[in-house]
Amino acid sequence: MKHLSIFSIFWLFGKLFSLKGNPDKMKVMILGIDGYIGWPLALRELMKGNEVVGVDNFFTRKRVKEVNSESVTPIPSFQQRLKKLKEKTGKSITFYRGDVADPKFFLEVMRREKPDAIVHLAEQRSAPYSMRGLRQATDTMVKNIVSTLNLIYAVKDTVPNAHILKLGTMGEYGTPNIDIPEGFFDIEYNGRKDFLPFPKQAGSWYHWTKVHDSNNLMFANRLWKLRITDVMQGVVYGTRTKEIDQTGLFSRFDIDEVWGTALNRFCAQATVGLPITPYGKGGQTRGFLSLEDSITCLDLALSNPPKEGEYRVFNQFDEHYSVRELASMVQQVYAEAYKKTPEIRSVPNPRLEAEEHYYNPAHEKLAKLGYRRSKELRDEVKIIFRDLRTYRRRIEKLKEVINPRTIWKDSPTK
Ligand code: USQ
């Protein structure tokens, strides 16, 4: 009996101070740990003292090669990354190589690791890639949706109380002619009222996969009361985070027409004297945030998990800009710093999207949790230029794959 009560005290103590009870010490599993966001997020969580488990199948590396491109920042193999991490910080990551869309593999990893939180970044993330043809559309659709379903079932079976932090996209909402709320809105129709998910109008097969994921996550939440944060993230830019500064362990940085995103591409174009390319009229407006701020937001979501049974949506971006505004900001910053004015040359829009539109999405929930942007966009752009000038030669080698060639309407059946 005495034994039992001592045991009970230990048990209670353990419960109170267990990893779960103390949000500063968690076991975080990062799916897609080798990616642009996965790697710096792993560094942040490790440096905070959390335990990190990573999963990746290196599909992004393979698919970037498929379009004759590579990361502008030289990134070593994942094994090398882990070795360097250990040398520089003394810390390690438990790593599993495999596909989250493979249910057996993934369930086994979850059974072994039983994480407190799982960040799902292991989806095909390029809209242009998904529009290259039926093969890529199918690949994106199947792998993305199945991976999230596998995650849902594995969490339900192994750690039903864990936090699923899922990366969705602001592109799920599209560009409606009304304000965009954070996930849900009050609606009155034919005299009756409800609080419903905001209608989605995605603009590529990739963006639609994220809509389908969100629907599946909402349903999983109703079925099994899972804790879920669905992050509608804007376009991320930048080369640096605090931990990249400390360790010198860069994340990847893509600039080609398939894998590169607007601001990163514009900075690379200016660096090697290519025209900056806003597509079409350039009034396409999106939410943007820096890599540092993206990691801060994800970390804030991890440290402030949803309540039991809660499905919540965060719109994650700092400010919204039109691509025309971004192009001229990049032009100005470059001209001030290097006394040479890059050309801005609008190119025919390869995508099907509104080129002038209303855009006013809410983004208050992360601010309520304490989020503040780390730097002005102009200052971040200066840092990107500094890094890209170091790797100028690598950008020069990619000149052939920078201009847009993936035409949405021509997506072939092959
Ligand atoms: N754009 C240009 N010129 C370029 C490249 C892009 O004008 O050289 C325009 C596009 O037409 C689009 C906007 O910039 O209107 C954003 O395009 P992007 O390639 O930067 O971003 P996108 O394809 O929307 O996808 C990226 C990420 C994706 C993430 C998404 C967030 O690849 O994983 O989900 O940003 S969001 O855009 O908010 O949906």
Residue 24 pLDDT: 61
Asked if residue 284 has its Cβ within 6 Å of ligand 1, the reply is: yes
Q: Which residues contact 121 (CB under 8 A, 6 or more apart)?
A: 30, 31, 32, 33, 35, 37, 38, 41, 167
Atom of ligand 1 nearest to the CA of 266: 8
Helices (H) and strands (E) in the chain, counts: 15, 12
Listed in order, strand segments (DSSP E) in 110-237 are: 117-120, 163-169, 184-189, 192-197, 227-233, 235-237
| Model pLDDT, residue 15 | 39
- Tell me what pLDDT residue 21 has: 44
Q: Is the CB of 286 under 6 A from ligand 1?
A: yes
Sign of CA dihedral 181, 167, 104, 91: negative
Please say whether the structural domain 24-255+288-319+360-375 has been given the CATH code 3.40.50.720. Answer: yes
pLDDT for the residue 271 = 98
Choosing from 143, 210, 271, 391, the catalytic residue is 210
Give the integer Cα–Cα distance in Å for 186 and 301: 24
Please, what is the angle between helix 262-271 and helix 377-390, to 10°?
Answer: 50
| pTM for the model | 0.94
Question: What was the pLDDT predicted at 106?
Answer: 98
> Which burial class, exposed, middle or buried, applies to 353 when counting CB atoms under 10 A from its CB (0-12, 13-18, 19+)?
middle
Task: Identify any residues that bridge with 211 across adjacent strands, giving them in sequence order.
Answer: none
How many whole angstroms from 283 Cα to the centroid of ligand 1?
13
Q: How far apart are the first and last CA of the chain?
A: 71
Q: Is 210 a catalytic residue?
A: yes
Query: What atom of ligand 1 comes closest to residue 269's alpha carbon?
Result: 8
Ligand 1: centre distance to CA 193 (Å): 35
At residue 81, φ and ψ (nearest 5 deg) are -55, -45
Active-site choice (96, 129, 173, 206):
206
Closest C-alpha to 95, from 133, 124, 136, 54 = 54
- CA gap 288, 170 in Å, rounded: 10
Mean pLDDT by 10 residues, the chain (414 residues): 39 41 79 98 98 98 97 98 98 98 98 98 98 98 98 98 98 98 98 98 98 98 98 98 98 98 98 98 98 98 97 97 98 98 98 98 98 96 98 98 97 92
Atom of ligand 1 nearest to the CA of 168: 34
Spacing, Cα 288 to ligand 1 middle (Å): 10
Active site residue 169: yes
CA distance 57 to 389: 31
Residue 1, burial from CB neighbour count under 10 angstroms (0-12, 13-18, 19+): exposed
Give the residue extent of every domain in the chain: 24-255+288-319+360-375
Q: How far is the CA of 76 from the centre of ligand 1 (A)?
A: 26
Q: What is residue 18's predicted lDDT score, i.e. its pLDDT? A: 42
Ligand 1 site, residue 278, Cβ cutoff 6 A: yes
Does residue 166 have its Cβ closer than 6 Å to ligand 1?
no
At residue 12, the pLDDT reads 40
Q: Which atom of ligand 1 is nearest to the CA of 171?
A: 39
203 three-class SS: coil
By most ligand atoms within 8 Å of CB, the mutation choice from 207, 232, 261, 320 for ligand 1 is: 261
CB 136 within 8 A of CB 253: no
Tokens 């710096």 appear where? 40
Catalytic site residue from 140, 169, 175, 247: 169
- 285 CB under 6 A from ligand 1? no
Task: Note every long-range contact of 74-78, with CB atoms under 8 Å and residues 24 or more positions apart, other chains counting.
Answer: 74/250, 74/391, 74/394, 75/250, 75/251, 75/252, 78/34
